[in-house]
Structure 1
Amino acid sequence: MPNYLEDVDAVLRALADPTRRAVVERLSKSPAVVSELLRPLSMALPSLLQHLRILEDAGVVTSSKQGRVRTVTLRPGALDVLHLWLDQQRTPAERQADRLGIHLSRSSFGDLT
C-alpha cells in the first residue's frame, strides 16, 4: 500500500471518533491549551489526553509543553491527504462538470466587462 494511503487510513481512524472531530473543529479556529479543550467535553483529563495522542500519532495535531501548560495546534496541511484521496475518488463526469462550471463562471464574468 502506498505511504499516502496509510496516512489516509490513520487520519480517517483518528477522525472516526466524535470527540476527536470536535477537538479538530475547535483547533481549526486557533491553538488551544489542553484545559481549554477539556472544558466543553464531559470527560476526565486522561481520556482527553488519549484522544489527543491518537490525533498526534495520526499527524493531525502537534503539541508543545511550556512548564505545566500543553498547547495543541492543528498541523497545517494535515487534512490535505484526505482532500487528495477524495478528489481521486470523483468520477470523470464530476470532474467534467466542475470544468464546465469554471468555464461558465469565467464566461459570465467576461460578459460583465
Structure 2
Amino acid sequence: MIKIYHNNRCTKSRNGLALLEASGKEFEVIKYLENVPTKAELENIVKLLKIKPIDLVRKNEAVWKSDFKDKHLNDNQIIEAMINNPKLIERPIVINNDKAVIGRPTEIIETII
C-alpha cells in the first residue's frame, strides 16, 4: 500500500496528498509529527530513498540551525535528531512498496504510483 508521511501545515505535503487523492489509489496517511517514525522506520525510509540521513533533514529549520548545524554528526545521531525533532524530517515522503520519493516537486510522486 502507498504511504505518505504528511504534515498538513506544509503546502508541498498538502499538494502531495491531493495528488494521491486524485489518483484514486488506496493510500495511508502518516502524520509523522504526531506518530514519529521509529529509528528502524527512518533507516528504512533512507534506504528506500537511496540517500544519506542528512539528505532527509530540513536544514533551514530553526532547531537544526541552533542545535545541530555546525556539529559533525554520524548517521545514527542525525536519525536520533529527526526522531527527537520530527519537524526536521523532509516532507512529503511517499512510499509505494520498495520505491520512495520526497515529493519536491510534487509531480515526482507520479513516478512511483
Q: Which has the higher contact order (CA 8 A, sep 6+)?
A: 2
Give the helix-richer structure, 1 or 2.
1
TM-score normalised by the chain length of structure 2: 0.24
